[in-house]
Amino acid sequence: MTDSTLQGHNRQTPEVSKKDIDRGDRLRVGRAVVVDRYGKWARINHWITAISLILLALTGLSLFHPSLYWLTALFGGGQITRMIHPWIGVVLFFSFLGLFIRFFRLNLPAREDAQWAARIGDVLKGNEEKLPEVGKYNAGQKFVFWAMSILIVILIVSGLGVWERYFSQYLTVEQMRVAVLVHAIAAVAIICVWIIHVYAAFWVAGTLRAMTRGNVSGGWAWRHHRKWLRALAAYGKRDDQTK
């Protein structure tokens, strides 16, 4: 994709605004267009969250059922696993909080989200041209974001309720049983959401590059997030290397 392609396309397009872009987004125009999608700190924040979630899932599953107890060997045994599990949860909560504060505005519902979701068949078939133009995040990505947000809150609240060393004295036995059940259900749900997130990252070629190198090709942005690319072209930061 070249800059002339970006400027020259004349099909009817949705209105864009500065609200469609993040402060770290930038166009780099040369022989081809490269788009900065995530800055260094956003990527570090993301990977801390991802690693915390994986560790939390492994330690939690090891305590969930006797058949999975062997997973505690990865962390030095049952006692250590039980001790570090809630602290990993605290790290996850505050790490995701950073992502939430940074990106919640871009994940608010938009008019095109319902149209995108209604054409989920075309999404799965890769018929991108039949989909509405979307901003930095499509409806599927927004679902993952808000599902993660809700489930992490449920996990931290229910987890504190069963953290016996510090909070057991504030709950009755019946309340703790409910908290354990809610915690387990939320944990299974968030693992499922995480699997969807990871699968989509590998399924859509070029997506992982955004979270490893911080940028995507102009062609990737044009195909998957055209409204976001238009907003960047109109209002975003720009490095023009053709001059």
Q: Which residues are known catalytic residues?
A: 197
Residue type, 93: F
Q: Which residues of 203-223 are buried (b: 16+ CB within 10 A; e: fewer)?
A: eeeebeebeeebbbebbbbbb
CB 28 within 8 A of CB 241: yes
Chain Cα centroid distance, residue 22:
15
Q: Which residue spans within 76-206 are E strands per DSSP?
A: none
Cβ neighbours of 198 (radius 10 Å): 13
Specify which residues 3 forms β-bridges with. Answer: none
Backbone φ, ψ for residue 25 (5° rounding):
-75, 140
What do you get for the CA distance between the two ends of the chain, in Å? 18
Specify which residues 216 forms β-bridges with. Answer: 35
Q: Which residue spans within 76-195 are E strands per DSSP?
A: none
